[in-house]
Amino acid sequence: MRGYVALAGLFCLIGTSVGFLVNGPAHASCKATWTFGKSCDTILSSLLSQVQAWSGPDNCRSGPTNEKCLYVLKSNSGGVLKLTHETPLKHYIDDITFTLTDGDMTPSGGQCTVKGMSRAETWYAVLDYGTNYCNMYNLLEGSQLTQLAGYTETTSDAICTQHSSANCTRY
């Protein structure tokens, strides 16, 4: 019985230490919110085109660590876009969800708020070098949505693993 108590205590200590070191989610993941000065139809169309463009392995070959590839569309219904992204080197799978909500109309035709979530499927993933953030950001940047008027982003290390040190040119 003492062995089980000691083992449970060790797991709690390790979990607390990892949470302290990471200073963010206990599992490799990222939540972020973006706004755009365009309608959600425009944003969705751009995201879908970018997912299609980066669906195969071709773009993986443009650099030794380029992960702007291997996206798979799982579903698109009612303003919710579900995808996966596979890392080309280790073949880890991350689940991605974008939820799009139309907001107030602007002179440029509308406003769209996008809530994004990316989460590693690997149960033991803790640190990810910002990969889950980059899974989403790269699609936005690749489709030039980050260049739109009214573009804003909200996230932090507390809800997005290693966001502040993410290198999206690599991941």
The phi, psi pair for 127, rounded to 5°, reads -100, 145
* CATH number, domain with residue 128: 3.30.310.80
The phi, psi pair for 16, rounded to 5°, reads -65, -40
Q: Does some domain include residue 17?
A: no
pLDDT confidence bin for 127, thresholds 50/70/90: confident
Residue-averaged pLDDT of the chain? 85
140 has a pLDDT exceeding 60:
yes
Q: Does some domain include residue 154?
A: yes
Q: Does some domain include residue 18?
A: no
**Residue 13 confidence (pLDDT):** 39
> 160: which DSSP letter?
B
Q: Which domain holds residue 104?
A: 26-165
Is there a contact between 151 and 37 (Cβ–Cβ < 8 Å)? Answer: yes
Q: Does some domain include residue 14?
A: no
125 has a pLDDT exceeding 50:
yes
Q: Does some domain include residue 1?
A: no
**Residue 22 confidence (pLDDT):** 45
Residue 43 in tokens = 């944003």
H helix or E strand, kind and range, residue 102? strand 93-102
pLDDT confidence bin for 9, thresholds 50/70/90: very low
Q: Does some domain include residue 170?
A: no
pLDDT confidence bin for 103, thresholds 50/70/90: confident
Q: Does some domain include residue 106?
A: yes
**Residue 5 confidence (pLDDT):** 43
**3-state DSSP assignment of residue 166:** coil
Q: Does some domain include residue 72?
A: yes
14 has a pLDDT exceeding 60:
no
Helices (H), 23-130: 40-53
Q: Name the domain count of the chain.
A: 1
